[in-house]
């Protein structure tokens, strides 16, 4: 019985370490992938157009003779770091709004929460498509478009936590001691929300990566010849039956990256959650 309990307590930590190493390896590829490319990812070689995977080109070439492996390695930086920047942005904005709304309440709180309800009532990708189309596409505009509709989740989580915390005795004691609202929010309430914020953000990275890839696939994100995985799939979608590697290679890169990040997020949640750790 004791040994089973010890194993069950160690399991979340072991999973977290394993998937943290996988996520770290993925980030290393994103950071240094451009330096690992066997060929120039943007160099067009018309004598090597649409070659099947071989020893010279492990993942084949596209319609312009560009090496697919090189483009996937180079595109890892744009695809992954754009998703990370997006998650950081929506977590920062949503947390700030949630803290202020939960602590002060009032009309501003009601207005922000109704706006959040509107954003949460429909798939965020639909709203993001409309905003990205107005902004005329581009990867930066795609990040802005998704950021504009994805913050409500964090705002609601932090607001509900703030509403519960501000009635606690240690918050009342800080108020009686003369602490300013800004100090109370930053020193007392925010640290107690960080666990939820970090876990939610970790689980959101994969989702945001897929939504950015979807916008690029629809022509509302990164534009050719940018080596972004969603854009690469869009460029080669007409060749799926004749030259499948042109589409399957970036698709596999998206699938593998999202799987690693989601497994890491799940492991982090299980490790932080006391109920999961006690099982």
Could you tell me if residue 127 is inside a domain? Answer: yes
Could you tell me if residue 223 is inside a domain? Answer: yes
Per the structure, the complete domain to which residue 132 belongs is given by 1-272
DSSP string, 161-218: HHHHHTTSHHHHHHHHTT--HHHHIIIIIHHHHHHHHHHHHHHHHHHHHHHHHHHHHT
pLDDT of residue 172: 86
CA atoms of 231 and 236, how far apart (whole Å) = 9
Average pLDDT, the chain: 90
- Give the mean pLDDT of 203-213: 95
pLDDT of residue 278: 44
Could you tell me if residue 7 is inside a domain? Answer: yes
**Tally of structural domains, the chain:** 1
- Give the residue, 7 or 45, on which the prediction is more confident: 45
Could you tell me if residue 247 is inside a domain? Answer: yes
pLDDT tens digits for 126-163?
Answer: 999 999 999 998 999 999 999 999 999 999 999 999 99
Contact between 217 and 126 under an 8 Å Cβ cutoff? The reply is no
pLDDT of residue 9: 56
The CATH number given to whatever domain includes residue 195 is 1.10.3720.10
């Amino acid at each position: 019985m004791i040994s089973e309990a010890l194993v069950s307590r160690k399991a979340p930590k072991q999973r977290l370490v394993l998937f943290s190493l996988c996520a770290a390896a993925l980030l290393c590829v994103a950071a240094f992938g451009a330096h690992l490319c066997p060929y120039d990812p943007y160099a067009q070689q018309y004598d090597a157009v649409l070659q099947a995977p071989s020893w010279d080109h492990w993942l084949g070439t596209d319609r312009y003779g560009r090496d697919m492996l090189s483009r996937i390695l180079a595109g890892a930086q744009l695809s992954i770091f754009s998703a990370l920047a997006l998650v950081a942005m929506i977590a920062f904005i949503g947390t700030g709004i949630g803290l202020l709304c939960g602590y002060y309440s009032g009309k501003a709180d009601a207005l922000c929460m109704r706006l959040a309800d509107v954003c949460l009532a429909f798939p965020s990708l639909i709203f993001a498509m409309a905003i990205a189309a107005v902004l005329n596409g581009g990867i930066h505009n795609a990040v802005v478009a998704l950021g504009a509709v994805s913050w409500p989740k964090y705002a609601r989580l932090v607001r509900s936590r703030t509403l519960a915390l501000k009635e606690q005795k240690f918050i009342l004691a800080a108020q009686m001691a003369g602490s300013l609202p800004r100090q109370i929010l930053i020193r007392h309430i925010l640290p107690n929300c960080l666990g939820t914020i970090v876990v939610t953000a970790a689980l959101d990275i994969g989702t945001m990566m897929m939504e950015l890839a979807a916008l690029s696939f629809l022509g509302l994100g990164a534009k050719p010849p940018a080596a972004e995985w969603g854009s690469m799939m869009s460029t080669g979608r007409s060749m799926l039956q004749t030259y499948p590697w042109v589409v399957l290679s970036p698709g596999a890169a998206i699938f593998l990256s999202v799987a690693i990040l989601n497994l890491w997020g799940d492991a982090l949640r299980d490790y932080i959650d006391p109920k999961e750790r006690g099982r």
